[in-house]
Structure 1
Amino acid sequence: MGPLPPFQVTVDTKGWLCVLDLRLALARHGPMLALRLAEELRVCLVPRLWSILDNTTHYRLQPRDLLADPFADARTPMPDPASLDQWERARLDLGLPVLRLYWAGERIDESFMPKEVDSQVIQRFERFGLDLEQRLLGTAPDLEPAVPLLGGALDATALAAAMSRYRPLILTLAEPSDEAPALCRLLAACGIDCRKVDSEQSRPLRRQLTPLLARSGALELCWSGLDLAVVHLVAPRAFLSEALDAADPDLETDLGSSSGEGDRFDDVWQDASAFWYRLP
């Protein structure tokens, strides 16, 4: 009997599903980051980006409307208005499917999602997003969810929850300091605990993700000052709601959501939590 072949472990990196937070999508080098990462993993864009691109003239004339963010402080990185031109060209001149980017629209037929994602994802995204918004307004009634960066963070969180079965990660901008990202401060305001994972605990995941940055050319963007943070959302009720949708899309229960419509659970965000770490 000859020697056994060396043992190898192959990680299906294309299996990673990433939701790009609007703050990162609109950052300096944000569009280039998305396009490069799409070479190595599945990148989903949030609907709020489309509403901005449909109104670029307004945001060019009123950039403060784009930059407003109640969860930012003086050190929080802000969007780069020049990124609007890059996204507009990518959408109109090149075509996002050609660039291998995915996005969620208002309806499933207006969306371009990974083929394994079920057809109920947009319905879940909408009701999860509404419940999350109502949670936020319950603790901070003066906030305006229509503010682009705030709405984009809500979109990213709800979309990640709607795809819980596929273990998506949310990629956002990290703070220059060691403080939690603005997205995590939003989650805290929604009653969702968002804790930092130390370098030792996050090492196994960073060892898988960092090579993707290197192979795609995204690592150079980090060297150029693009600080990244990864957020993992744990929402047990959202996960079970998705599993029920997959098992029987026509199944109905007597439990009502906070919007008053039939739903799997009355509060999919109950017991939800999140964890974040810097990358690389």
Structure 2
Amino acid sequence: MTAALVSDFSITLNQRRWACVLDPTLALSHYGLPLVKQLGELMELWIVRELWHILDNPQFYLHQPSLISSVQMPITLPSYGNSSQHVVQTLKEWERLRTSTDRNSWNIHFLADVIGESCVPTGIDADIIWRWESLAQSLDTRLDQQVSKLDILTLAFRDLAALAAARPACILTHRVNEEAPALCKTLQQWGIACQPIEPTNAIADIEREQFRNLLVHAGLSKFLWAGLNLAVLHLVVPAAATLSTTFAQDWSDEYSFSEIDESTVDQGLSTNLWQGAQGFWYSIT
């Protein structure tokens, strides 16, 4: 009797999809669209709002590509020449995608000013926008301390870090010439230490193998052979895990962002959210 009961009993486990935010310099590289189209079928893939602003104004950046090519791209293919040329080509490809297809078929998620205009996974908390805005505004206080003038990619990196902490999600970035990812160097300037994980680390080995499998199943192995040196960055932001949602539950679409920002300042949320934050990264290849 017991054996019969056991034989009819089964358990099915559904593996949760990885949540991953794409480095904007990757999205604007030769690999951006293939990563979005193919990897997005297997992962919960996000792009940042500042990148969306770039894609909303392609003609402006087509005439001034240097504004978004100041950070070194993954690799430059001979057919594209310098970084400005390949940024122009990539923007044209993104523009064709946006004008010829429905955004629901792009395999990407993003946050807009309100949840109704965003593209988010089913069941995600509506207060993610408030958490992200709060974390981004908190980073602004660290950016203000920098001598260099803010550029569009600096703002994109700010949004990237804030979104990864708010979701939470890992970050898919890249390395050039065996150096640390440019994003890590920027975070270090903001007082957020980023350290490489040793190649022999057992946990990193498990993640690395899973990510490699995803790349193989997505048909992206050829880019690794072509020289793309992908890396994964995890941010640990203690305040993000306990960020109060009291205000988030009260504010509605009638509030402007400036009003939301003032309220976060009144609650003391905009200055210390990144205290104790740190990053850990490893190369996939």
**TM-score normalized by structure 1?**
0.83
Query: Is the aligned partner of 1:68 residue 2:70?
Result: yes
C-alpha distance in 1 between matches for 2:187 and 2:156: 13
Does structure 2 retain, via aligned residues, the 8 Å contact 1:169–1:233?
yes
Post-superposition Cα deviations, 1:49-80, rounded to whole Å, max 9, x if no partner, equal 221122212222222112124xx5x9987573
C-alpha distance in 2 between matches for 1:121 and 1:263: 19
Distance change >3 Å, CA 175–CA 50, structure 1 → 2: same
- Pairwise CA RMSD: 3.1
Query: Is the aligned partner of 1:183 residue 2:183?
Result: yes
The equivalences for 1:126-275 within 5 A come to: 126-138=133-145, 140-144=146-150, 147-164=151-168, 168-177=169-178, 179-201=179-201, 202-241=204-243, 244-245=244-245, 249-250=249-250, 260-262=265-267, 266-275=271-280
Matched position secondary structure for 2:96: helix
Does structure 2 retain, via aligned residues, the 8 Å contact 1:129–1:158?
yes
Q: AA paired with 2:118?
A: S
The equivalences for 1:117-128 within 5 A come to: 117-128=124-135
Q: Which runs of 5+ in 2 are unaligned?
A: 77-82, 252-260
C-alpha distance in 2 between matches for 1:203 and 1:279: 9
Q: AA paired with 1:271?
A: G
Distance change >3 Å, CA 171–CA 47, structure 1 → 2: same
Identity of aligned residues (%): 32
How far does residue 148 in structure 1 lie from its aligned partner after superposition? Answer: 2.2
**TM-score normalized by structure 2?**
0.81
Matched position secondary structure for 1:49: helix
C-alpha distance in 2 between matches for 1:228 and 1:26: 15
How far does residue 171 in structure 1 lie from its aligned partner after superposition? Answer: 0.7
Residue of structure 1 equivalent to 2:255: none
Q: AA paired with 1:142?
A: S
How far does residue 265 in structure 1 lie from its aligned partner after superposition? Answer: 7.2
Query: Is the aligned partner of 1:113 residue 2:115?
Result: no
C-alpha distance in 1 between matches for 2:194 and 2:263: 23
Q: AA paired with 1:171?
A: L
| 1:278 equivalent among 272, 279, 283 | 283
C-alpha distance in 2 between matches for 1:148 and 1:157: 14
CA radius of gyration, larger in = 2
How far does residue 263 in structure 1 lie from its aligned partner after superposition? Answer: 5.4
Matched position secondary structure for 1:213: helix
C-alpha distance in 2 between matches for 1:229 and 1:246: 36
Distance change >3 Å, CA 261–CA 88, structure 1 → 2: farther
Q: AA paired with 2:154?
A: L
C-alpha distance in 2 between matches for 1:156 and 1:33: 17
Residue of structure 2 equivalent to 1:100: 107
C-alpha distance in 2 between matches for 1:85 and 1:125: 29
C-alpha distance in 2 between matches for 1:85 and 1:121: 31
Matched position secondary structure for 2:125: coil
Residue of structure 2 equivalent to 1:54: 56
Does structure 2 retain, via aligned residues, the 8 Å contact 1:237–1:265?
no
C-alpha distance in 1 between matches for 2:98 and 2:106: 9
Distance change >3 Å, CA 234–CA 246, structure 1 → 2: farther
Distance change >3 Å, CA 75–CA 228, structure 1 → 2: closer
Does structure 2 retain, via aligned residues, the 8 Å contact 1:233–1:272?
yes
